[in-house]
């Protein structure tokens, strides 16, 4: 029988699909729903046939592999609950609070939290037998050659070999999200999920895993997703810096307020508690988030918010705080998270201080300018009797 091997694409290299859910929708579910999760693409989305797709494992290994998707399904499966976040999440806050940056104007929704199922990368590497020193500066590169991207002929990223081999890091060759096959948007038939690590390394439509001495040579590892120093103000200046800077690996401690939004009209909190809600993410592998605090006096005093959900080391938490205090003209709130490793957010973004690409932003979450709804009084004023109505 002849089978049709055709891959078709959604979007183009010039105009790929990039979108995020509104903040209220984002925190509706602890486990993000497929249709409500953000999409981040540097090129078109390929629709691939799983029956013909082959994942190659090569480079410095003594036993190179060619793995079909059905075969991956027969191997021991591992499930991990992990957040997936773009390093550019919260870029909008960086550019509006600090200074213009260059990149997609992500608000707070370039993040999702999901149950990922697939084969542990460490199991596959055990089969392939890396020949490089796992304690040295070796890497595992992930590549997708299905399509060109905006800045390169393919998409790729890498992580240190030591992390890939560490079973505790739960690096996953994922086949499923929330118990269902990945959708084309999410990387069907197979993608990387690297808990605690920036989304850029979670290569979708994965074609090749390569054990090598150096990092991935892809543009998104070499000349993007790095934190440029503040003195770099233009793309031209950046060119001289990229090769000197480390690639982003782990994402920083973070939290934001998703509801209400800045500028919202709210009920009087002295009459009805004002519910403030958001999410918080641990730093890299130092989760879970153990504390979220809220301040309504510009960070002078803090009160503990209630953590509503707990999902372990790699998961986000959803949290809520009920405010019943004073009302001012422009009410503002801040939030900050602390994780098990003791990392706490600061008023200014830490490593992700202002940088031209607007990555790694993690200053306090903030909402401003809440207005208390004016009471509409129920009295109907009667005309004084001596004045008659004139039509």
Ligand X SMILES: Nc1nc2c(c(=O)[nH]1)N[C@H]1C(S)=C(S)[C@@H](COP(=O)(O)O)O[C@H]1N2
Number of residues near ligand X (by CB under 6 A) = 19
The verdict on 41 binding ligand X (CB under 6 A) reads yes
The verdict on 39 binding ligand X (CB under 6 A) reads yes
State how far the Cα of 186 lies from the Cα of 163, in Å rounded to an integer: 23
The verdict on 91 binding Mo ion (CB under 5 A) reads no
The verdict on 116 binding ligand X (CB under 6 A) reads no
Out of 45, 57, 84, 86, name the contact with Mo ion by CB under 5 A. Answer: 86
**Residue 155 binding partner per list Mo ion, ligand X, none, with a CB distance cut-off of 5 to 8 Å that depends on partner kind:** ligand X
Out of 119, 173, 200, 317, name the contact with Mo ion by CB under 5 A. Answer: 200
CA distance from start to end of the chain: 88
State how far the Cα of 163 lies from the Cα of 168, in Å rounded to an integer: 9
Question: Nearer to ligand X by C-beta: 114 or 317?
Answer: 114
Minimum distance, C-beta of residue 289 to ligand X, in the bound complex (Å) = 20
Binding track, positions 31-70, relative to Mo ion; x by CB under 5 A:
---------x------------------------------
Residues 249-288 binding ligand X (CB under 6 A) are none
C-alpha distances out from residue 58 to 62, 131, 201, 243, Å:
9, 11, 18, 25
- Binding window for ligand X (CB under 6 A); candidates: 24-32, 35-43, 159-167, 301-309: 35-43
- Binding window for ligand X (CB under 6 A); candidates: 6-14, 194-202, 352-360, 361-369: 194-202
Question: Nearer to ligand X by C-beta: 144 or 159?
Answer: 144
In degrees rounded to 5, what are phi and psi of residue 355?
-145, 145
Query: Maximum CA pair distance of the chain?
Result: 104
Minimum distance, C-beta of residue 200 to Mo ion, in the bound complex (Å) = 5
Out of 55, 202, 211, 292, name the contact with ligand X by CB under 6 A. Answer: 202
C-alpha distances out from residue 212 to 67, 215, 221, 290, Å:
19, 7, 14, 37
The verdict on 360 binding ligand X (CB under 6 A) reads no
State how far the Cα of 159 lies from the Cα of 129, in Å rounded to an integer: 17
Q: Is the Cβ–Cβ distance between 358 and 102 less than 8 Å? A: yes
Minimum distance, C-beta of residue 32 to ligand X, in the bound complex (Å) = 10
- Binding window for Mo ion (CB under 5 A); candidates: 184-192, 200-208, 213-221, 232-240: 200-208
Location of structure tokens 């797709």: 53
- Binding window for ligand X (CB under 6 A); candidates: 36-44, 71-79, 94-102, 241-249: 36-44
Of 89, 144, 143, 92, the C-alpha closest to 112 is 89
The verdict on 155 binding ligand X (CB under 6 A) reads yes
**Residue 202 binding partner per list ligand X, Mo ion, none, with a CB distance cut-off of 5 to 8 Å that depends on partner kind:** ligand X
Report the chain's C-alpha Rg in angstroms. 24
Helices first, then strands: H and E counts in the chain: 7, 21
Question: Nearer to Mo ion by C-beta: 196 or 277?
Answer: 196
- Binding window for ligand X (CB under 6 A); candidates: 201-209, 231-239, 269-277, 289-297: 201-209
Phi-psi region of 261 (alpha: psi -120 to 50; beta: other; left: phi over 0): beta
Q: Is the Cβ–Cβ distance between 292 and 307 less than 8 Å? A: yes
Of 274, 265, 266, 318, the C-alpha closest to 296 is 274
Applying CB under 6 A, the residues found at the interface with ligand X are 37-43, 84, 86, 144, 149, 155, 186, 199-200, 202-205
């Amino acid at each position: 029988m002849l089978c049709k091997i055709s891959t078709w694409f959604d979007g183009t290299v010039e105009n790929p699909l990039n979108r995020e859910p509104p903040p209220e929708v984002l925190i509706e579910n602890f486990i993000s729903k497929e249709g409500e999760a953000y999409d981040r693409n540097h090129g078109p989305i390929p629709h691939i046939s799983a029956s013909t797709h082959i994942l190659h494992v090569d480079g410095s290994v003594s036993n190179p592999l060619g793995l079909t998707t059905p075969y991956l399904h027969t191997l021991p499966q591992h499930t991990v609950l992990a957040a997936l976040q773009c390093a550019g999440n919260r870029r909008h806050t960086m550019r509006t609070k600090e200074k213009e940056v260059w990149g997609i104007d992500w608000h707070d929704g370039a993040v999702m939290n999901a149950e990922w199922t697939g084969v542990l990368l460490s199991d596959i590497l055990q089969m392939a037998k890396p020949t490089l020193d796992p304690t040295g500066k070796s890497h595992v590169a992930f590549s997708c050659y299905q399509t060109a991207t905006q800045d390169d002929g393919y998409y790729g990223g890498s992580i240190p070999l030591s992390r890939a081999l560490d079973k505790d890091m739960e690096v996953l060759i994922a086949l499923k999200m929330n118990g269902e096959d990945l959708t084309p948007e999410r990387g069907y038939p197979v993608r990387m999920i690297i808990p605690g690590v920036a989304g850029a390394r979670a290569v979708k439509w994965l074609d090749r895993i390569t054990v090598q001495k150096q990092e991935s040579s892809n543009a998104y590892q070499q000349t993007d997703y790095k934190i440029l120093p503040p003195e770099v103000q233009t793309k031209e200046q950046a060119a001289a810096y990229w090769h000197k800077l480390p690639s982003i690996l782990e994402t920083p401690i973070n939290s934001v307020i998703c509801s209400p939004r800045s500028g919202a009209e709210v009920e009087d909190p002295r009459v009805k508690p004002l519910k403030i809600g958001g999410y918080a993410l641990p730093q890299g592998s130092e989760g879970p988030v153990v504390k979220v605090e809220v301040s309504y006096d510009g960070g002078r005093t803090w009160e503990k918010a209630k953590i509503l959900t707990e999902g372990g080391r790699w998961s986000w938490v959803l949290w809520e705080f009920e405010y019943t205090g004073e009302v001012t003209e422009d009410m503002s709130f801040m939030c900050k998270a602390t994780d098990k490793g003791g990392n706490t957010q600061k008023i200014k973004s830490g490593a992700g201080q202002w940088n031209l690409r607007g990555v790694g932003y993690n200053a306090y979450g903030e909402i401003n300018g809440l207005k208390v709804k004016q009471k509409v009084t129920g009295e109907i004023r009667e005309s004084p009797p001596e004045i008659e109505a004139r039509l």
